[in-house]
A and B are shown apart, each in its own frame.
Chain A
Amino acid sequence: MTAIAERPTTTPRRSVFRRPTAETGPWSWITTVDHKKIGILYFVTAFFFFLVGGVEALLIRLQLAQPGGTLLTADQYNQIFTMHGLTMIFFAVMPLGAAFFNYLLPLMIGARDVAFPRLNAFSYWVFLAAGIFLYSGILLGGLPDGGWFNYAPLNLIGPNPTLGVDPSAGSPIPEHVQRMVLYSIGLQIAGIASLASSVNFIVTVFNMRAPGMTLMRMPIFVWSIFVTSFLMLFAMPVIGVALWQLLFDVRYGTSFFNPASGGDPVLWQHMFWLFGHPEVYILILPAFGMVSEVLPVFSRKPLFGYSAMVFSMIAIAFLGWGVWAHHMFAAGLGPVANSAFGLSTMFIAVPTGVKIFNWLGTMWGGRIRITTPLLFAAGLVGMFTIGGLSGVTHSIVPHDWQQTDTYYVVAHFHYVLFGGSIFGIFSATYFYFPKVTGRMLDEKLGKLHFALMIIGFNVTFFPMHILGLWGMPRRIYTYADGMGWNFWNLVETIGAFIIAAAILVFMVNVTRSLRHGAVAGNDPWDARTVEWLTTSPPPPYNFEEVPHVSARDEAWHRKYVSDGSQAPRRVPAGASPDHGTPDDASPGEAAVPAAEAPAHGPAHDGASAIHMPSPSYYPAIAALGLPIAGWGVVAGGAVQVALLVLGGTIIISGLFGWVLEPSAEDH
């Protein structure tokens, strides 16, 4: 496993800092380059942002519970609904996906780490920096307030043009402009994190697979990581350019989107949605991958139509680039463009439907075990289908003209994002918690969580279809009495609190199970993929010996024999004749109980001693420079120059330190 070995160089080198060595405590987390620790960091941070976004959602629902709500002012409402969207999309769902990518990718392909461990740490710190940067608006001129898509020219003049320069704030930059700078640079920084991880994951999937792990033997979740990474790789630069143009417009007087000086506001919409539609697949494909792992395990059947699943995912990723203008049917592109994009949108529903039928086919005739992960996975299949169908209704242009900018659209995207992505993420959380922590989550609380969540979810979001069709616009901070909207709005608010209760149950479950949960062992679910061959939690080097893979459901084939005529028979670990190569080095791994597994390193050391990459300070340092430079642009004046120079210096010295960093063996 030279590919991950830290290589001693011939010339001893010096660095500003010694290479960090802490293995526990805060420094071990700040300097870690272990994909498993980084995955945990991602999960905890993203879950925190999920809670923040959730509190924002509750505020929105409280404000709208009754007509003429007074909890929030219009300005506060605008900031809160905007931050709700940005937080959930960029700081909750995407990084929750990244948490599982990080933790599972190397384990699932039988590698010891990702291709670039330090770059991986860098992605995490940059993501965290982006979140802090965006929310720093609380202390500055306010948070972004133009919606997550921030349409031009609203983003140039602001929803409230009277917000001028606040002399007491001591900044020459008007508040509205500050908010747009936060939006622009905040998402830009988050984009850097996504870009870095997409490069890292693509190289890892191509290059770090265990022997025998061909592309078509990879677990389907790995395929979803792979496809999602390509989407991120190509979507991030597009929004990146649009964000730069916005920044130049609001801050340096260019006229990209400003109709007053000849710019075209619709260009912003094109750029945003050219990124935005692939982005929705970036949000959903990981969840698709997760449930495609969970359903076979609890249906005790292989995934139905594996190759169809892979190719439909690839098809979605391709078609996803040709449908963006379905978000712009009301922008006046003309009947030809509208019809073309309406058609392509209907087409994209086809591979999506293929996936739904394959999940049904996986469960059909299986000996289903009703566990919490299965419930959430089946929940996704049901809820996402409703959301997909309302999506197809949007593709009918005249129909969309009726629905666009109403609560009907809000219903659609919550059925796909909450009913889809979030359900998938919870399914995977219950499924992988034992692998990550070594303990099971409580099933009773888990089922309570699921019951509350599916009820709360439907009570909250289903009525939005009705309100939308009745004409209630989205993004309004209040509405008048007598519109006939009162009842369902109140119902939705009640539903939102049921969801909040569900999340509380989950948090109680996690807190209790971390200490008192049943000990999991290597393979508590009788699962099918190689990450279940190693201990729970896995050692830093993942596998004592890298597994040789000879089948798609490698772990399952090591446990069972099946001649096709009768039900598969369980065999003692290592005795399965199905499990091919005679030279396979580690047939007995599945049998090693956690307690017997070596705790401090591989048992047979010798020539194959496992070098793991050393921790490093530099990824975190380099990431720190980005928001500092960004705050300069927010501040303006002399501070701008100072902070840009400071931030730039930190980034560059961080990168130099990184490149010149000696490996740990040199000391």
Chain B
Amino acid sequence: MEQFLNDPSIYTLVRGPLVWLAFIVFFVGMLYRIFTTLKMAKKEKVIYPYLSFKYTLRSIFRWLMPFGSISMRKHPWFTIITFIFHICIIVTPIFLTGHMELWNESWEISWLSLPVGLTDLMTITVIVCLFFIFLRRLIQKDIRFLTSTSDYILLVLVALPFITGFLSHHELLLQYKIMLTIHMLSGELMLIAIPFTKLSHMFMFFLTRAHTGSEFGAVRHSRDY
């Protein structure tokens, strides 16, 4: 295995075409999911006529603002953890210096990158948060009841790129190149998985909130938060 991962052609594959593939699958998959959902929603007849831009925004705003909803106020710890977690998980990979170099190398694009120390900290934060989320799933009765194996697999799927990224950066556990290959592979795997697993909630969130926000705001004259 180690031999295999050490093979330069594997590295080239993972570093090159697979990245492309992952991004294409991610974006195309996401667009496809959104498109099919919107099309299905049309069939339901009662979705579009009631959509309200104002209340969609209200709903999204409330739920993207820390403690913007009564639900978040009732679950302060979980809210803090999930907000930090979600911010870090999105910001870290996009603004990581290492990634920036790669992007610059391949596509000659770059933007602001965060200091390495900070991204390092954020990576650890993601891992720690994931651990808490995992514990919560395991310990809290009502959540454990809802949980199935796939939920744990998803946690691992999300954790892997961060753990391996951290390890490779600090050249721990395995040889740098190997760890880096695993890191890239797991990152690509996660990207590919997003549109087809529950991770799709990252964009489905906006669609369900548009519907529920409009129903509550424009039709029911009450709050959905």
Verify that A and B bind, or say they do not. no
